[in-house]
Structure 1
Amino acid sequence: MSGVASMVRATMCWAGWATSRCSAFAARFPLGVRVIDDNPPEGFIRIDFDRGRPDPTFNTHIGNLYAKRGEKGTRDEFVMGFRVQSHMCNPAGGLHGGMMMSVADLVGTMGGGTLVGLRKFLPTVNMTFDFVAPARVGDWVEGRAEVVRQTRSLLFTNIYLTVGEEKILRASSIAKIPSGDGFTFNKARLAREEAAPS
């Protein structure tokens, strides 16, 4: 086995990760990945997108993603965040544009929906993106939405991804507000293995 292949197959779990959690995360990637501790800032809770489903969805594969709720009516009412990992990066070592777009899409629909009091699944019908600056492995990225307009059937939002105070992505989103009850979301909760004992 070449040095590069053996290096790629090596999975490193740094401080803060239980061995079983690292193994489960790395098992999703046949060649293995270098995993660092997410170490989210205070108040962020890992989003469990699958809620016990046997077949993990796309959002689980790209994560871990975290959310926190702040005071109503403030820019922190809904914040999504994640620690940049190597599997989220492009060959040049920067956060991949596809990862940024996926997170911005979630911020626009989940965050925008939260800001206007909708608990429905809001499918995106249009998005535009401006890549402003790079992010690197180890950076903590946060996403926030601003509601531009809401009609009976559409929600218009602007989304910003930041590292600290620096904007790294600006996006504009239009999401469809389904009529009727449709698929609804519950509040983000801790993943099963991280949940506090009852």
Structure 2
Amino acid sequence: MIDDNPPEGFIRIDFDRGRPDPTFNTHIGNLYAKRGEKGTRDEFVMGFRVQSHMCNPAGGLHGGMMMSVADLVGTMGGGTLVGLRKFLPTVNMTFDFVAPARVGDWVEGRAEVVRQTRSLLFTNIYLTVGEEKILRASSIAKIPSGDGFTFNKARLAREEAAPS
């Protein structure tokens, strides 16, 4: 297994905090987030290091892994960009697989808000390795009425962050 060695500013997301059993998000591998300046393309960035268990038999990052991460970027990242801390269930997604990623590559995902209505959030999502786009996705997420379920379980594992 390759060390994740995330770039500076990325903190592991603890999806299972306080849960007795791991969730799907934990099983796919360590995922990291970085919060940048509000209003920039780096306001919310998700990242991960490609490990061999994330790859298909041809040695490329599995499409299912790319889709799972894009889904999280669309809902968590898109929600962050519009100021929502609610769980946003995905209603629809489309995916374009543009290029492969390989073991050891650092993949980053960013969301771009296309439109927000009272009940829906439309986003475009891009996964990249360096400057190369490897996946483009389009997502529609439901914005629940009322308070809804919040991201009180998934938190950045700040205790693991290296001191600055």
TM-score band, normalised by the shorter chain? over 0.9
Largest Rg, 1 or 2: 1
Structure-2 change in CA distance of 1:105 and 1:151 (3 Å)? same
User: For residues 89-134 of structure 1, what are the alpha-carbon distances to aligned partners after superposition, in whole Å with 9 as ceiling and x for unaligned?
Assistant: 0000000000000000000000000000000000000000000000
Higher strand share: 2
User: For residues 13-42 of structure 1, what are the alpha-carbon distances to aligned partners after superposition, in whole Å with 9 as ceiling and x for unaligned?
Assistant: xxxxxxxxxxxxxxxxxxxxxx11000000
Q: Is the 8 A contact 2:14 2:154 kept in 1?
A: yes
Higher helix share: 1
Q: Shift in Å at residue 193 of structure 1?
A: 7.2
1:88-103 equivalences in 2 (<5 Å): 88-103=54-69
2:4 matched residue in structure 1: 38
2:133 matched residue in structure 1: 167
Which structure carries more relative contact order (alpha carbon 8 Å, separation 6+)? 2
Structure-2 change in CA distance of 1:79 and 1:188 (3 Å)? farther
Please report the TM-score for the alignment, with normalisation by the length of structure 1. 0.79
Q: Is the 8 A contact 2:99 2:135 kept in 1?
A: yes
Structure-2 change in CA distance of 1:193 and 1:70 (3 Å)? closer
Structure-2 change in CA distance of 1:167 and 1:58 (3 Å)? same
Percent identical residues: 99
Q: Is the 8 A contact 2:17 2:153 kept in 1?
A: no
Query: 2: distance between equivalents of 1:42 and 1:159?
Result: 22
Q: Shift in Å at residue 73 of structure 1?
A: 0.4
For these two proteins, the number of residue pairs brought into alignment is 164
2:75 matched residue in structure 1: 109
SS in 2 for 1:47: strand
Query: 2: distance between equivalents of 1:126 and 1:178?
Result: 15
What value does the CA root-mean-square deviation take over the aligned residues?
2.1
